[in-house]
Amino acid sequence: MDRLQISTEFVDEFNRVLNKVQSIYSEYEKNHDVSPSSQTKLIEEVDTMIKRANFIDHIYPEILETLKDFGKIVFRFIKGKVGVEELAFKTKAIDKELIMILKSKKD
């Protein structure tokens, strides 16, 4: 597998995490709270994704750093230092950033 393909797979995986964040945001809008199980699932999924990315030599460094930045945001969310709205907003921004990185590598 080449760098572009491997990095694209991680961006696709990030999109699944983005969907999870969106469902957490919907849960928050509906119940004005986020269940501990939703938080746990999110942190586990993000942690697994970042650990996998760390062990792959062929991922673009910019993609890896962006995923790590996202992990920090999720950690701050779990600790209560970032609200659900900010988590959702930053997740969408990171998604756009990842897409821009991939586009720049394809050119």
**What is the value of pTM for the model shown?**
0.87
- The domain ranges of the chain are 3-106
Residue 43 has pLDDT above 80, yes or no: yes
What's the pLDDT score for residue 57?
Answer: 77
Q: 81 falls in which pLDDT band (50, 70, 90)? A: very high
Contacts of 50 (CB under 8 A, 6+ apart): 67, 68, 71
Residue 85: which of 44, 45, 38, 26 has the closest Cα?
26
What integer is the mean pLDDT of 54-82? 92
**CATH code for residues 3-106:** 1.20.120
- Tell me the torsion sign for CA atoms 78, 80, 82, 85: positive
Q: 2 falls in which pLDDT band (50, 70, 90)? A: confident
What integer is the mean pLDDT of 19-46? 94
